[in-house]
Amino acid sequence: MKTRTLGKSGLEVSALGLGCMGLSFGYGPATDKKEAIQLLRSAFDAGVTFFDTAEAYGANEELLGEALAPFRDKIVIATKFGFKEGQPTLGMDSRPENIKAVAEAALKKLKTDYIDLFYQHRVDPNVPIEDVAGAIQDLMKEGKIKHWGLSEAGAQTIRKAHTIQPVAALQSEYSLWWREPEQEILPTLEELGIGFVPFSPLGKGFLTGAINENTQFDSTDFRNIVPRFSEENRKANQELVDLLKTIATEKNATPAQIALAWLLAQKPWIVPIPGTTKLHRLQENIGAASIDLTINDLQEIENAASKIAIQGARYPAHLQNRVGK
Sheet strands side by side (includes 18-19)? 18-19, 50-52, 76-81, 115-120, 145-151, 169-173, 195-199
- Cβ proximity of 90 and 82 under 8 Å: no
- Cβ proximity of 79 and 118 under 8 Å: yes
CA distance 209 to 321: 29
Cα angle for residues 132, 137, 139 (degrees, 5° grid): 100
Coil, strand or helix: which one is 197?
strand
Neighbours of 307 (CB within 10 A): 8
**At 19, phi and psi to the nearest 5?**
-80, 120
- Cβ proximity of 178 and 323 under 8 Å: no
Among 131, 125, 168, 166, which Cα is nearest to 149's?
168
CA distance 24 to 82: 19
- Cβ proximity of 285 and 32 under 8 Å: no
CA distance 99 to 96: 5
Residue type for position 243:
L
Q: Mind telling me the catalytic residues?
A: 57
Determine if residue 14 is left, alpha or beta; phi over 0 gives left, psi from -120 to 50 gives alpha, anything else beta: beta
